[in-house]
């Protein structure tokens, strides 16, 4: 039986082991306490801070993540690439990547009798990876999925690009979540035409870090301008996410809540 409302939890970029630990702790708690129907997470940094592995992907499916989006690090670990060709694997790569890339940039699933289309895009501003215009790409996908609740993850560096995309899609999609910067923005809101919006969902990973990397490494890089080997930090962990409730009939967001939790290392 189709539900009147659907609850979606969108989880920010998962960084390494600390991020996976935070997700494994908090996702089951929120699934139960908030009666969540669908959990989507950006997982492109889940394996040692860069890329996916099939083993880590399977581990997070078991704790309650239903689907993964990605971004510029989707190819960082070759282990996952063969699996991206399988329809059963719930991982998206940006739909507007140029060339013949393995995998898919969007997918439609059924959640409690309701169609949900998840779309993954990558921004063009400050992005060295060749990509097509995300605005044009998303237009083409949306045109064929008007009967779905549509969730868009734009993995982008520039705030302006994400804000512009949110307004551009307002009323045509149900949820817009920006990812990539690993810093959760405090601008969550329902836009005038009913789209739930946040510029960046944030990060799941080490709290005392620079975007998940050991802070000493990044400080040294800024001081010396010399390349440094990035290593994921340790310590207390943060869990950033956005919880959205959607009317399945109108496909508009009813309410949303930004989540920012901390998991202490002694838990």
Catalytic residues, by residue number, are 73
Token pair of 164 as six digits: 């512009």
Count Cα atoms within 13 angstroms, Cβ side, for 145: 25
> What residues does 256 pair with on adjacent strands?
244
């Amino acid at each position: 039986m189709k539900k009147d409302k659907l609850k979606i939890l969108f989880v920010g970029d998962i960084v390494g082991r600390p991020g996976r630990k935070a997700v494994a702790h908090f996702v089951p708690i929120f699934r139960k306490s908030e009666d969540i129907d669908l959990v989507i997470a950006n997982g492109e940094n889940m394996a040692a801070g860069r890329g996916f592995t099939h083993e880590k992907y399977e581990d997070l499916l078991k704790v309650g993540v239903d689907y993964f989006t990605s971004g510029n690090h989707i190819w960082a670990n070759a282990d996952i690439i063969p699996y991206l060709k399988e329809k059963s694997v719930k991982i998206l790569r940006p739909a507007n990547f140029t060339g013949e890339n393995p995998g898919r940039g969007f997918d439609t699933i059924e959640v409690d009798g309701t169609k949900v289309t998840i779309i993954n895009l990558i921004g063009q501003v400050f992005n060295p990876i060749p990509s097509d215009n995300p605005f044009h790409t998303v237009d083409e996908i949306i045109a064929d999925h008007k009967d779905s609740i549509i969730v868009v993850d734009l993995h982008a560096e520039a705030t302006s690009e994400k804000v512009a995309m949110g307004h551009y899609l307002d009323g045509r999609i149900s949820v817009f979540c920006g990812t990539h910067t690993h810093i959760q923005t405090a601008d969550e809101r329902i836009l005038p035409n009913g789209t739930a919006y946040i510029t960046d969902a944030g990060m799941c990973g080490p709290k005392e870090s620079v975007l998940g990397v050991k802070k000493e490494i990044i400080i040294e890089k800024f001081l010396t301008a010399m390349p440094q080997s990035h290593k994921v930090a340790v310590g207390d962990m943060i869990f950033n996410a956005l919880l959205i409730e959607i009317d399945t009939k109108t496909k508009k967001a009813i309410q949303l809540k930004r989540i920012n939790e901390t998991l202490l290392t002694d838990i």
